Amino acid sequence: MLAAAQRDFNDQDYGSANNRAYYCIFHAMRAVLALDGEDYKKHSAVIARFTLNYLKTDILPRDYGKLISNASLIRNRSDYEDFYICPVEDTRRLIEGASDFHSAVKAYLSIRYDEVSK
């Protein structure tokens, strides 16, 4: 998803880049929750549980809460509002945030997977 977001951004397909950046974040959250044996069908439930279990407990930085919230809002507006135009700089920041979040989750999962597999 992250590579697709970056590719779409470079191709000036900003709406698609917003969507892919959001789904990078969303699937990363789901991967973390999966190690707890949790999965949810609704995006709002994934976000709420991830926030409760990982951000409010400072397992991952609380600052990601704003990124997740903004990503969800931008994705929804880009996908469903006919006349929404996201500023290019907002899309750039969203992709950068998704990249940072992806790296943090990947590092966390690497540590967590080692603990689970022992």
pLDDT tens profile 9-53: 999 999 999 999 999 999 999 999 998 999 998 999 999 999 999
CATH number of the domain bearing residue 40? 1.20.120.330
CA distance 10 to 117: 39
Q: pTM of this prediction? A: 0.93
CA distance 114 to 7: 32
CA distance 15 to 25: 16
∠ at Cα 41 (1, 36), nearest 5°? 80
Identify the band that residue 92 occupies on the pLDDT scale cut at 50, 70 and 90: very high
Q: Which pLDDT score is estimated for 68?
A: 98
Q: pLDDT, tens digit, for every residue of 6-18?
A: 999 999 999 999 9
Is the CB of residue 55 less than 8 Å from the CB of residue 62? Answer: yes
Residue 112 confidence (pLDDT) above 70: yes
Q: Structurally, how many domains does the chain consist of?
A: 1
Supply the range of the domain harboring residue 112. 2-117
